[in-house]
Chains A and B, each alone.
Chain A
Amino acid sequence: MNTVYILWLRQLKRYLRSRSRIIGALGQPLLFIVAFGFGFGAIFARAGAGNYMNFLIPGIIGQSILFTAISSGIDLIWDRQFGFLKETLAAPVSRFAIFFGRTLGGATVATIQGIIVLALSFIVKFQPFSLTYTLIAILAMFLISLLFTALGTAMAAKMEDFHGFQLIMNFLVMPLFFLSGALFPLDSMPKALNIIAKFNPLTYGVDLLRGLLTNIWHFNMSLDLLILAGLTAFLLLLGSFLFSQIEV
């Protein structure tokens, strides 16, 4: 278990030491908050759907978690050839321990990013409706982070180089973000897109965050938690299996 701890710590140190990367990763969420929040705010309110900024912020938190988590999984591809991964693979430690350490670490980093976006959202007058639920929301952030870090690692375990990464970003991650209810309510989507959204893990993540922070629910807390927890468990198993099969 020392292995898990030290690999978790390593991910954390790497993140905290790279101030430019932290700020850089906040750029996109902030851009969306400012551009969409202020851009669509009036239209949204006029349509009778309420405060768009409140609606949007949990979605953007979901976005930052998604992107951070997936990219820490993808880091694996580089690590495999040029980095630290080989050192861990040659060491007398279990692959599962290595996988868990990395994944927990990556998930922690994604959660911290989510918390930073939440903190920054106070500047645009975002107000969570309850402190207790906000704390639960942070736990939810960790769950979602875990899900997507495990997913990123599982995908990266099968990839040998970066070409696949471009495909993944454009045909998986972007659609996951845009069709998750992060930017606009699900009920206003055409049926086909709605169905796709129901298969998207981020949809439930965003719904959970939005519900816990602003008490706006599309589904409900139990369904969201059930699906997220189940998927996370599955992806952790799948990820650790694929990871254990890695050869250099």
Chain B
Amino acid sequence: MENIIEVKNLTKKFADFVAVDNISFDVKKGEIFAFLGPNGAGKSTTIKMLTTMLHSTDGDIKINGFDTKINQDDVRRSFGIVFQDPSLDDELTAYENMELHSVLYNVDKKNRKNRIEDLLKLVELWEKRKDLVKTFSGGMKRRLEIARGLLHHPKIIFLDEPTLGLDPQTRNLMWEYLKKMNKEENITVFFSTHYMEEAAKIADRVAIIDHGKIITMGTVDELQQKTKTDSLEEAFLKLTGSAIREEQAGNLDQMRARSRIWRK
């Protein structure tokens, strides 16, 4: 199939607030696709709908040919996801986290051990496999989540703001693994970010999203041409405006602040 992700007229309304407003786009198999937008643009909400974690208000999503409303489990088997906030079990070891995932995704026992080893070695965490995840730094956790997300050999890997808060070395390493997976296994990479250089350097195509709408979409060159600018950064600012956004700290921000204090 050409398009591994097909989104038509996707909308999400919360009470009176429209988070995602009638967006449509396709992602080709084997592509590296970026959703670029400021905070509150609707990126995370879109990813949550793509990954069956959230119901849409309207619209259709097809992942790997499966409709997210009808064949949820088939959809889930088709992708791996790295969330914005950590989703590892801190009180288990790196290896145990990988094992858990392999049970949940029914990776057959014969391949389990080898795959876990290969992936942990890929993200350079094999030496630390018996350490509890709570001893890991943010970067190590993110690397582990990537290894875990790839464990069941998904066709797509979704990453929601994957490099937020990471040091440059880890960021670099992360993209290296992902590009390797993309080239060797033809895994489609879909990520959201508000870092323009990242989108420009890594993605084949970029969709710029703001206020829940896709403003424009295309390769980095196309976007620069369209907006007559010299860099994705300028194009982005031109399209979304340079004014600082009024943001309100919601429950999630409070919980994030709390987690930083308690380091749970």
Q: Are B86 and A18 in contact (CB under 8 A)?
A: no
Q: Per-position contact with B for A1-16: 1 when CB-CB < 8 Å, else 0? A: 0110010001001100
Q: Are B53 and A87 in contact (CB under 8 A)?
A: no
Q: Are A81 and B252 in contact (CB under 8 A)?
A: yes
Tell whether A187 is near chain B: CB-to-CB under 8 Å. no
Q: Are B104 and A88 in contact (CB under 8 A)?
A: yes
Q: Are B76 and A86 in contact (CB under 8 A)?
A: no
Q: Are A90 and B51 in contact (CB under 8 A)?
A: yes
Residues in A whose Cβ lies below 8 Å from that of B81: 90
Q: What band does the interface of chain B fall in when counting residues whose beta carbon is under 8 Å from A? A: 35 or more
Q: Which of B52, B103, B251, B252 contacts A3 (CB 8 A)?
A: B103
A10-B100, A90-B76 are known contacts. Are A83 and B251 too (CB-CB below 8 A)? no
Residues in A whose Cβ lies below 8 Å from that of B90: 83
A89-B53, A90-B53, A248-B53 are known contacts. Are A13 and B103 too (CB-CB below 8 A)? no
Q: Which of A3, A10, A82 contacts B86 (CB 8 A)?
A: A82
Tell whether B85 is near chain A: CB-to-CB under 8 Å. yes
Cα-based distance from A83 to B145 in the complex (angstroms): 12
A3-B103, A91-B104, A161-B251 are known contacts. Are A86 and B77 too (CB-CB below 8 A)? no
A14-B91, A81-B252, A83-B90 are known contacts. Are A93 and B85 too (CB-CB below 8 A)? no
Cα-based distance from A78 to B96 in the complex (angstroms): 20
Q: Are B87 and A92 in contact (CB under 8 A)?
A: no
Tell whether A191 is near chain B: CB-to-CB under 8 Å. no
Q: Per-position contact with B for A71-104: 1 when CB-CB < 8 Å, else 0? A: 0000000100111111111111100000000000
Closest beta carbon of chain B to A164's beta carbon, Å: 11
Residues in B whose Cβ lies below 8 Å from that of A248: 48, 53-54
Cα-based distance from A2 to B112 in the complex (angstroms): 15
Residues in B whose Cβ lies below 8 Å from that of A6: 100, 103-104
Interface residues of A in 1-56 (CB under 8 A from B): 2-3, 6, 10, 13-14, 17-18
Cα-based distance from A71 to B258 in the complex (angstroms): 18
Majority secondary structure, A binding face: helix
Q: Are B100 and A161 in contact (CB under 8 A)?
A: no
Residues in A whose Cβ lies below 8 Å from that of B83: 86
Cα-based distance from A10 to B89 in the complex (angstroms): 9
Q: Are A91 and B105 in contact (CB under 8 A)?
A: yes
Cα-based distance from A6 to B53 in the complex (angstroms): 22
Tell whether B254 is near chain A: CB-to-CB under 8 Å. yes
Cα-based distance from A160 to B81 in the complex (angstroms): 22
Residues in A whose Cβ lies below 8 Å from that of B254: 161
Q: Are B53 and A84 in contact (CB under 8 A)?
A: no
Q: Are A86 and B87 in contact (CB under 8 A)?
A: yes
Q: Are B255 and A87 in contact (CB under 8 A)?
A: no
Tell whether B92 is near chain A: CB-to-CB under 8 Å. yes
Cα-based distance from A124 to B175 in the complex (angstroms): 61
Cα-based distance from A18 to B252 in the complex (angstroms): 27
Q: Are B92 and A10 in contact (CB under 8 A)?
A: yes
Tell whether B245 is near chain A: CB-to-CB under 8 Å. no
Q: Per-position contact with A for B171-212: 1 when CB-CB < 8 Å, else 0? A: 000000000000000000000000000000000000000000
Closest to A94 in B: B73
List chain B positions with a Cβ less than 8 A from chain A. 48, 51-55, 72-74, 76-77, 81, 83, 85-92, 96, 100-101, 103-106, 132, 148, 251-252, 254-255, 259, 264
Pick 11 A–B contacts, CB within 8 A, sort by A.
Answer: A84-B88, A85-B87, A86-B83, A87-B101, A88-B104, A90-B52, A91-B101, A92-B72, A92-B76, A92-B105, A160-B251
List chain A positions with a Cβ less than 8 A from chain B. 2-3, 6, 10, 13-14, 17-18, 78, 81-93, 160-162, 247-248
Task: Kindly list the 6 A-B residue pairs having the minimum CB-CB distance in the complex, ordered from nearest.
Answer: A92-B73, A91-B104, A92-B76, A86-B87, A84-B89, A161-B251
